[in-house]
Amino acid sequence: MEQCQLQTNIREDLRKKLEEIRQRVEEVMKIMNGQQGCMLCEIKSIRESAGKLEGLISYYHFQSSLMPYVEELDEIAKAVAALSEKGHGALIVVEKNDLLDSLIGTCSMTGILIGAKISAPLLQSIFYPGNPLHDGAVIIRKGQIVAAGCVLPLSAQKYTSERHKIGTRHRAALGLSERTDALVIVVSEETGQISFAKDGVLHPIDVQLCTKLQQSEVNHADSEQS
């Protein structure tokens, strides 16, 4: 089973993004010293590169946090990337050290207990619009989808630091991550943005990057064998 353990690729991409930012900062300094150029254009490029860098670092953090608890990280990555692309919302809880027995118990009333191996097609079918389970959360424990259609506790947070309203899925992700050490993945139905909640903080991630890097690694391995 191939996992998304692409730390070398990610480190290379991090270096490239940091180098881009460094070069842009140098251009801004030159413009400040009298060289011709568009300072606002350079600042915009720095902001865009910094956003990509944040997504890359967040994914690396996401990957490192999950790998000790779930082997099927590639299946989760494929599923959320596909859900994001289609504009289907999702809420996926990965249990870590704090057991979620009480939450799983109540889920038998709001959703269903499953007990199936993690797979991208199964996750996508659960969150397909119209499926009676798609508005609830999936709970993953030790490589299995143990429950779906679960209701998570909502966070008291209603707005981001930028005063943007936080949707119900994101408040649910924050709420559980404030109470337990679970890592909660959320896909926005409105924007397709993928984030994860950990310790009461939301982090945007670029899971599509994982699939691109993974394919790059497969192609590299194939070229070495031929």
Give the DSSP H/E element, type plus range, for residue 94: strand 90-94
Q: pTM for the whole thing?
A: 0.77
Name the nearest CA neighbour of 202 among 91, 88, 77.
91
Give the model's pLDDT for residue 161.
Answer: 62
The domain segmentation of the chain, as residue ranges, is 7-65, 70-211
The one-letter amino acid at 95? E
**Residue 220: pLDDT band with limits 50, 70, 90:** very low
Q: pLDDT digits over 38-66, tens only?
A: 999 999 999 988 887 887 787 777 878 88
Classify burial at 33, counting beta carbons within 10 Å of its beta carbon; exposed 0-12, middle 13-18, buried 19 or more. exposed
Pick the CATH number of 70-211 from 2.60.40.10, 3.40.1700.10, 3.10.20.70, 3.40.50.300: 3.40.1700.10
47-60 b/e (C-beta count within 10 Å ≥ 16 → b):
eebeebbebbebbb
Name the nearest CA neighbour of 123 among 165, 70, 163, 174.
70
Name the nearest CA neighbour of 175 among 152, 158, 202.
152
